Amino acid sequence: MIVATSGHVDHGKTRLVHALTGIETDRLEEEKVRGLTIDLGFAYMHNGSKSIGFIDVPGHIKFISNMLAGVAAIDFGMLVIAADDGPMPQTCEHLAILDLLGLNRGCVVMTKIDRVDEDRMLNVTQEIRQLVANTSLGEAPIYPVSSATGQGIDQLLGNLWSESDSIITKQADGNFRLAIDRSFSVKGSGNVVTGSVFSGDVNVGDEIYLLPHNRSVRVRGIHRQNQNSDSGSAGDRCAINITGDIDRDLISRGNWLSSVADLPFSDRIDVQIILLGSEANPLYHWTPVHVHSAAQHVTGRVATLESKSITPGDKQLAQLVLSEPIHVYYGDQLIIRDQSASRTLGGGKVIDPYSPKRGRAKQDRIQMLSAMLTSDFRERITQMVRVAVSGVDTKRLKSCFNITDFSTDEFGVTDGSGILFSSDAVDSAKKDILEMMQDWHKTHPQETGIPEQQLISLLDPGVDIIKCAVQILLQTQKILQIGNKLKLPAHNIELAGPEMALWNKVKPLLQNDLLKPPVLHDLAKAVNLPPGAVEKLLGNCIKFGLVVRPVKNRFFLPPAVQSLKEIAIDLANSSEDNKFTVIEFRDKAGIGRNLSIEILEYFDRIGFTRRIDDFRIVQDTTR
């Protein structure tokens, strides 16, 4: 169990920790000599397999920074109030911070009782009860103690060990991430970083990343709760010995260790802000502030979303526009202080680290953020998909919520680019598409079909959902694609008699070698016609969807083009990096190098593949 001590300066926090543990926390040099340790502001005591760690941070600025850096590991709050002084300004601020961070397990310790009489103790007890009422420590017990005489220490210690028995182990799901709050070098070991594990787990030997520098490092050793360990998990306080090609000067407070390299780093974050009820004035739009999150500290401005200001004691949606990007996930806690960093204004919960720029669709954004505040995960995703006209990007969704395993099937329909749409919305779009195409065929009976982009421009809602619905209709053959046009299966235009006769001669020649049909000159010679006449005929056949012309001097049957696409997909799927070369495509298709180059260039033009140096990847299987 990790216990955070909090309270006004000189109220006896450090002496209290010493009385409980026998450890003096102010000893940075000794820590370095000991090697892998995490005692900066920490003291530990152990009882068999159980342990209790104390965060002891003097001064309110350091308190805020270290509280937030260790918020993932803190289990219990201990508010320290001296009996002679009673509650003081920092007492109130620290209590407010505990409340803002949602730390609802804790106690109040009234120190220095050897300096006061019984009446003073009773008066301070009443002041404490009034102070903590309506806060997370409203029902917390009060323990009177003297660190000088030892009075009350055993009772407090017994309560702490009892509380440690009921601590629920935090789930180690999601990507591993540790907020670095200190780094130093140990002779013979190298770089050591300390911090709290916010999510996931890490093991000795793991390859992880130092962010935001995106440097790969290896875990050489781990101290967990100040003891050697093979692993660390969410909720642990850890020191990690890292090795790799990295300069110690790159490692600093506010950096992260992570199991993935693409954590969200953003300078624009959507949050839910609570303004302390003790504030005298509202928090107005575009107010400059200091923002603390984990071990990160940046300046920024508050952009209100629901009204022009946030009144004291109120909770509202807002956007933080920061001076530099920081890493946060959904649900991370923030503390917001005034422009001079002299007092705490309030706190916040991160809703979306991928906040878009504010615009006219503010009401749509508020609807989405309200959906994201839903506590149950499945209901949250359901609500998000329901209100998102343009769909939900599943890659960003996984990154925002720190999800490593996620199935979209129960929430809706996903298109080829990973955008998740509501099933009801897709069904409605499919219905609109079919009705529009029926009307089109009635008014344009001699047209093969409607160009896809024209169909999209005629329909509402957004472009993305129409494209998704089109692909589903194509896959289920409810509609067909002829070149760049779409048609209903029942709509047909027949070739004229002479054209049909010539087509019946040409088609077998194209079928003889599907993947390598004859060039135009040889095809014309085979049917005893000028190349221009054959080219004109096959140009008409393209309109009817009978042939495709991916290269200048050859016409392919549609199944042949589809087979060539499948070859490219197979090559990409069988490669570790999803890349393949012209030579690999040539060997697989058996069509020759020059034709392979021409086919792949055609695939590049239509967006099916994309060239990267001498390689290609399959970019969009729906093209």
Domain CATH for 526: 1.10.10.10
Using the 8-state DSSP alphabet, how is residue 588 labeled? H
Q: Dihedral (C-alpha) 281, 285, 286, 291: value to the nearest 10 degrees?
A: 60
Answer whether residue 622 shows pLDDT above 90.
no
| Residues 604-614, mean pLDDT to the nearest whole number | 92
Q: In whole angstroms, what is the distance from residue 10 CA to residue 14 CA?
A: 9
Answer whether residue 568 shows pLDDT above 70.
yes
- Predicted local confidence at residue 562, as pLDDT: 87
Evaluate whether residue 368 is within a structural domain: no
Q: Where are the alpha helices (DSSP H) in 402-530?
A: 423-443, 452-458, 463-475, 497-512, 520-526
- Predicted local confidence at residue 39, as pLDDT: 39
Q: In whole angstroms, what is the distance from residue 197 CA to residue 229 CA?
A: 14
Max Cα distance, the chain (Å): 119
How would residue 37 be classed by pLDDT, with cut points 50, 70 and 90?
very low
Residue where one domain finishes, among candidates 258, 284, 305: 258
Cβ proximity of 408 and 394 under 8 Å: yes
pTM for this entry = 0.76
In a 10 Å sphere around its CB, with 0-12 CB exposed, 13-18 middle and 19+ buried, how is residue 614 labelled? exposed
Q: In whole angstroms, what is the distance from residue 78 CA to residue 455 CA?
A: 64
Evaluate whether residue 462 is within a structural domain: yes
Residue among 419, 525, 520 at smallest CA distance from 472? 419
DSSP labels, 261-294: S---EEEEEEEEEEE-TT-SS-EETTEEEEEEET
The per-residue pLDDT for range 41-76, each reduced to its tens digit, is 678 888 877 888 887 765 666 667 777 777 767 889
Answer whether residue 231 shows pLDDT above 70.
yes
- Residue 61 dihedral angles phi and psi, to the nearest 5°: -65, -50
Answer whether residue 35 shows pLDDT above 70.
no
Residue where one domain finishes, among candidates 313, 334, 363: 363
Q: In whole angstroms, what is the distance from residue 381 CA to residue 401 CA?
A: 10
Evaluate whether residue 511 is within a structural domain: yes
548 and 569 belong to one structural domain = no
Q: In whole angstroms, what is the distance from residue 135 CA to residue 615 CA?
A: 61
Q: In whole angstroms, what is the distance from residue 301 CA to residue 289 CA?
A: 6
- Predicted local confidence at residue 617, as pLDDT: 94
Q: In whole angstroms, what is the distance from residue 207 CA to residue 216 CA?
A: 7
Tokens 């085979």 belong to 526
- Predicted local confidence at residue 177, as pLDDT: 94
310 and 441 belong to one structural domain = no
CATH number for 149: 3.40.50.300
Helix axes 89-100 and 60-69, enclosed angle (nearest 10): 10
Low-confidence winner among 100-104, 277-281, 524-528, 594-598 (lowest mean pLDDT) = 100-104
How would residue 153 be classed by pLDDT, with cut points 50, 70 and 90?
very high
- Predicted local confidence at residue 88, as pLDDT: 92
Residues 6+ apart with CB under 8 A from 498: none
3-state secondary structure 4-34: EEEECCCCCHHHHHHHHHCCCCCCHHHHHHH
478 and 506 belong to one structural domain = no
Low-confidence winner among 25-29, 180-184, 492-496 (lowest mean pLDDT) = 25-29
378 and 397 belong to one structural domain = yes
Cβ proximity of 189 and 219 under 8 Å: no
Angle at 197 between CA 191 and CA 200, to 5 degrees: 115
- Predicted local confidence at residue 144, as pLDDT: 97
Q: Which two tokens stand for residue 397?
A: 């969704």
The per-residue pLDDT for range 331-345, each reduced to its tens digit, is 999 999 999 988 899
Evaluate whether residue 321 is within a structural domain: yes
Q: Which domain holds residue 567?
A: 560-618
Sign of CA dihedral 345, 351, 354, 359: negative
- Predicted local confidence at residue 588, as pLDDT: 94
In a 10 Å sphere around its CB, with 0-12 CB exposed, 13-18 middle and 19+ buried, how is residue 252 labelled? middle
| Residues 8-14, mean pLDDT to the nearest whole number | 87
Answer whether residue 38 shows pLDDT above 60.
no
Residues 6+ apart with CB under 8 A from 168: none
- Predicted local confidence at residue 42, as pLDDT: 73
Evaluate whether residue 358 is within a structural domain: yes
283 and 191 belong to one structural domain = no
204 and 279 belong to one structural domain = no
CATH number for 348: 2.40.30.10
Distances from the Cα of 227 to the Cαs of 46, 231, 238, in angstroms? 10, 11, 9
Cβ proximity of 137 and 106 under 8 Å: yes
Evaluate whether residue 172 is within a structural domain: no
Q: E strand or H helix at 46, and its extent?
A: strand 42-47
Q: Which two tokens stand for residue 180?
A: 């670095």
Task: Report the mean per-residue pLDDT for the chain.
Answer: 88
158 and 291 belong to one structural domain = no
Cβ proximity of 333 and 293 under 8 Å: yes
Evaluate whether residue 416 is within a structural domain: yes
Q: Which two tokens stand for residue 374?
A: 């839903």
Q: In whole angstroms, what is the distance from residue 253 CA to residue 294 CA?
A: 10
245 and 270 belong to one structural domain = no
Q: How would you label 290-300 residue by residue, b for 16+ Cβ within 10 Å and e otherwise?
A: bbbbbbbbbeb
Evaluate whether residue 357 is within a structural domain: yes
414 and 518 belong to one structural domain = no
| Residues 507-512, mean pLDDT to the nearest whole number | 92
Residue where one domain finishes, among candidates 126, 145, 165: 165
Q: In whole angstroms, what is the distance from residue 292 CA to residue 302 CA?
A: 13
The per-residue pLDDT for range 361-412, each reduced to its tens digit, is 678 899 999 999 999 999 999 999 999 888 999 999 999 999 988 888 889 9
42 and 154 belong to one structural domain = yes
Residue among 179, 156, 154 at smallest CA distance from 235? 179
Cβ proximity of 297 and 283 under 8 Å: no
Q: E strand or H helix at 326, and its extent?
A: strand 315-327
| Residues 410-436, mean pLDDT to the nearest whole number | 91
Considering only residues 31 and 441, tell me which one the structure prediction assigns the higher pLDDT: 441
- Predicted local confidence at residue 40, as pLDDT: 45
Total domains in the fold of the chain? 6
Q: What is the CA radius of gyration of the chain?
A: 33
DSSP labels, 107-125: EEEEE-GGGS-HHHHHHHH
Distances from the Cα of 379 to the Cαs of 235, 375, 389, 618, in angstroms? 26, 8, 17, 34
In a 10 Å sphere around its CB, with 0-12 CB exposed, 13-18 middle and 19+ buried, how is residue 68 labelled? buried
183 and 309 belong to one structural domain = no
384 and 423 belong to one structural domain = yes
The per-residue pLDDT for range 194-210, each reduced to its tens digit, is 988 999 999 999 999 99
Residue among 574, 575, 589, 580 at smallest CA distance from 611? 580
- Predicted local confidence at residue 46, as pLDDT: 82
Q: How many other C-beta atoms can be found within 10 angstroms of the C-beta atom of residue 490? A: 7
